[in-house]
Amino acid sequence: MFSKFHRESASQLNAVVVTPGGEGGRGGIDRMMDAIRHEFREHPRVNVDLKFVVSRGASIYLSPVVLAWAVLRIVFLQAWQGIDVIHINLSANASVYRKFVVAAVASALRIPYVVHLHSGEFGTFWDSCNGQTRRWIDALFTNAKSIIVLGRVWSDLLVTNLPELRDRIIVMPNSTRAQRHDFHADGPVTILFLGRLGPAKGIGELLDSFEIIRHHNDWRATLAGDGAVTETRILVERLGLAGRVKVPGWLNDDGVTAELQAADILVLPSWVENLPMCVVEAFGHGLAVVCTPVGALPEIVEHERTGLLVPVRNARALASALERLLTDPALRARLGIQARAQHAVRFEIGGYVDRLVGVWRGASRTERRRATPPSSMTASAR
């Protein structure tokens, strides 16, 4: 009891973040968590001890073993130093079932938890679940001290399904660190795609749009990411675009940064999204953005001001937007400058982490107030 009282009086916060793949993992959740991790390394917050626990790992086949190890780590950390709050990153499908386990362990150990919703497909998944799974999902959210979402579209989804959550939902768009970026006055315009290669990211429409604008000789493109890498390379070859479109596959953080530094335009014609990290990163680099109005993207990409929005699955509209940017360098520069200014106000990682620590402390205080003993017991403990 003395150690817990001492930690509280010193405002020590022991936080555990549950993330799918761990440091350097593929996917938006791990990239966002890596941004938080790096910010803590470079600018540690006073009296905050932050640890990360991997819940899935690199192989889906080994995920039950990784999840079991995550549970053991949580139990050990609670016994060794105490955990004040667990931050549970939540996607859809199998991620939900893994997080049922994490939330159940947290509740059994009387550790408050915060849910961070990331998936753009979560609403569809939620609607498809049977009665028992829906009840588990409802309990996962209802027992959370706070629920972090990336945009208003997701807070509306939660309130529609669980109105009692209204006061516990916090909108926090993804954030990154701003980067120096020089506008390229000479040479071909470079178009960059970052994401999982496949139909849902609009790769088919993107390649169709490249065919439409192929008569312009002053552009090159990079399509970087995992997924259907080989299939995409074959399509590029068949279209006769291999001389100007490269498909390098998955890139690490340094590779992504290098591509963002070299690019002029970030394009993301997705069918479904939540709030993709690559768009926030493009804002931080001052790139002109072309994307579809899905998920929370319309909440940050203002058409004609910080980017261009095009309809989903519309290659001609996408080609038209890209052609505008190819032929109008002043428009490219203006969109990029305004996107970077928006990033400085809304998406800088330092302010994001400060706010996140506040959310963790709020969740921890709620549990501590509930567990605080009567004043006579507190006095004797001293």
Query: DSSP letters along 26-52, please?
Result: SSHHHHHHHHHHHHHHHSPPTTEEEEE
Task: Write down the pLDDT at residue 26.
Answer: 83
Task: Write down the pLDDT at residue 3.
Answer: 40
Please determine, looking at this structure, whether the domain spanning 189-346 carries the CATH number 3.40.50.2000.
Answer: yes
User: Exposure of 195 by Cβ count < 10 A (0-12 exposed, 13-18 middle, 19+ buried)?
Assistant: buried
How far apart (Å, rounded) are the C-alpha atoms in residues 269 and 339? 18
Q: Is the pTM of this model over 0.85?
A: yes
The tens digit of pLDDT for each residue in 142-152 reads 999 999 999 99
> What is the pairing mode between strands 113-117 and 189-194?
unpaired
Sites in the chain below the pLDDT cut of 50 = 1-10, 369-382
How far apart (Å, rounded) are the C-alpha atoms in residues 135 and 140? 9
Task: Write down the pLDDT at residue 179.
Answer: 84
Where in the chain are all domains bearing CATH 3.40.50.2000? 2-175+348-377, 189-346
Task: Write down the pLDDT at residue 187.
Answer: 80
Please determine, looking at this structure, whether the domain spanning 2-175+348-377 carries the CATH number 3.40.50.2000.
Answer: yes
The tens digit of pLDDT for each residue in 238-257 reads 999 999 999 999 998 899 99
User: Exposure of 31 by Cβ count < 10 A (0-12 exposed, 13-18 middle, 19+ buried)?
Assistant: buried
The tens digit of pLDDT for each residue in 168-212 reads 999 999 999 988 777 766 789 999 999 999 999 999 999 999 999
Task: Write down the pLDDT at residue 251.
Answer: 93
Task: Write down the pLDDT at residue 60.
Answer: 83
